[in-house]
Structure 1
Amino acid sequence: MTSSQSLLALATGISWLVSMAGHVGLLVVALVLVRRHRPDAAGPLVGWAVAELVLGVVGAALGPITTALVARSSGIEAVVTAQAVQTLVRTVLGAGLVAWLAYALVVLAQPPKPVEVPREPPYR
């Protein structure tokens, strides 16, 4: 491995770690702060943060595995095609996650739902 390849691998790894740390931070914010103050809005935010983490981990693992499997059975053209397909799938999933985040933010921006307290205890 050349020094430029090592540098690229290091930069990619650091970038992935920073991204995952950011998503974990957002998950903690949704679980601790948003859920405490707006439990009705926490669900979509927690779901989005978990989906982002899963996509990040699965994407990071699947990329090299797919490339290695395709490279063994086919040539460079197949590797490039596999990477293009992975990029397109990640783009579509990423757009879906952006829409999910937008929905979660809309839910959070709306006034909280009033809490209804029954006048009579249900055990009577």
Structure 2
Amino acid sequence: MIESYPKFTVHFHQLSSFSIPSAQPFTLTVVWEGVDFDFLINIKPKSSHLLIIGSGAGTMANEKRVSTPYFQRHSWIHDFEDSTIFYNDPTLYFDPKLSLGWGQGSKERFYLKEIASILEVLIKK
């Protein structure tokens, strides 16, 4: 399902000029200082509400890793009347055995803060 959506990649400094499509769901990778921050976005022009849905534990299914980027509950995307942005935790890219990263990132970078900064730009759009 996710594979069928259009994919876009932009660098963080280009994000403010990125034009958000509203015709159908799409994935967006924001590259920020070498880290891929992945989002699944579905804009519903008639809605004034936006739901932000993060990933929790769940990248492991029957001891087999679910592929990343992982957008938990993405199958609900058409069930919401509101616009939605799902985000993947890039902490999961560090180790295939990780099933949950809480957005911690690395010792040098707190990914959840950077996800919030990206979301601030997207929300303004």
TM normalised by structure 1 equals 0.24
Larger relative strand fraction? 2
Larger radius of gyration: 1
Larger relative helix fraction? 1
TM normalised by structure 2 equals 0.24
Q: Which has the higher contact order (CA 8 A, sep 6+)?
A: 1
